[in-house]
Amino acid sequence: EAQVTQNPRYLITVTGKKLTVTCSQNMNHEYMSWYRQDPGLGLRQIYYSMNVEVTDKGDVPEGYKVSRKEKRNFPLILESPSPNQTSLYFCASSSRTGMGNQPQHFGDGTRLSIL
Amino acid sequence: GQNIDQPTEMTATEGAIVQINCTYQTSGFNGLFWYQQHAGEAPTFLSYNVLDGLEEKGRFSSFLSRSKGYSYLLLKELQMKDSASYLCAHRDDKIIFGKGTRLHILP
């Protein structure tokens, strides 16, 4: 089954304790992306990657890191989490053609609470 | 810069038709997507336009006018399960989403 898998689904942690949210896709997609979704602000792109070893900042990259060492995986790293990073996070992937990105396939989301 | 605007909330009646508008400004344009998102769930793809005109997919249609920076999503024969948020998004290397339109369906 084609899917984007992110883990964990829920996490409560404390300020300053490094954490990683994993994301894996089995569709051989070139493009992967992380979003955060907050009430009244909608989905905002954190980082994206157009292929292995290629990553770029989205609209809200501060406080986050990513890596793309393999095509299928795109982990999101919070080196020193703060309460303002409490949010619902989505990973997504899509293929790319000569016209650009195809529709995004989303993971089920990770609800992150930083105390 | 890049910006996408859509209404925050709309209400419609079961069985009716509703049109959700989306306006955008962007320096480059590679197409516009529409997604549906039920509360607490991930967005799912609905429709996509890269050329001007109407794309029809069953009860859902989407329209694009590139010269006006305008798109709409048309939902026909509304059902209660259509109660959700509807998101429009630029398709570019950096993907920009609108804040979403929450659609309430009344019986």
For A21-38, how does the pLDDT look when each residue is reduced to its tens digit (9 = 90+)?
999 999 999 999 999 999
* A109, pLDDT greater than 70: yes
Interface test with A, best of B44, B97, B101, B102 (most A CBs within 10 A): B97
| A85-89, A99-103, B64-68: segment of lowest average pLDDT | A99-103
Searching chain A, which residue's CA lies closest to the CA of residue B1? A59
Searching chain B, which residue's CA lies closest to the CA of residue A43? B97
Closest-CA distance, B88 to chain A, in angstroms, reads 10
* A38 vs B: CB within 8 A: no
Q: Distance of CA B104 to CAs A2, A26, B38, B52, B100, Å?
A: 31, 35, 11, 29, 13
Q: What is the pLDDT of residue B1?
A: 56
Mean pLDDT, rounded, of chain A: 94
Mean pLDDT per segment of 10 residues, for chain B of length 107 residues?
Answer: 88 97 84 93 93 93 93 97 95 88 96
| Confidence tier at A1 by pLDDT (50, 70, 90) | confident
Cite the beta strand spans of chain A per DSSP E. Answer: 4-7, 10-13, 19-25, 31-38, 42-51, 54-57, 65-66, 76-78, 87-94, 96-97, 100-101, 105-106, 110-114
Q: What is the pLDDT of residue B26?
A: 78
In this prediction, residues A78-96 reach a mean pLDDT of 95
Interface test with B, best of A101, A105, A110 (most B CBs within 10 A): A101
Q: What is the pLDDT of residue B95?
A: 87
Q: Which of B86, B49, B46, B45 shows the shortest CA–CA distance to B64?
A: B49
Q: What is the pLDDT of residue B91?
A: 78
DSSP string for residues in B17-45: -EEEEEEEE-SS---EEEEEE-TTS--EE
Q: What is the pLDDT of residue A98?
A: 63
Q: What is the pLDDT of residue B74?
A: 97
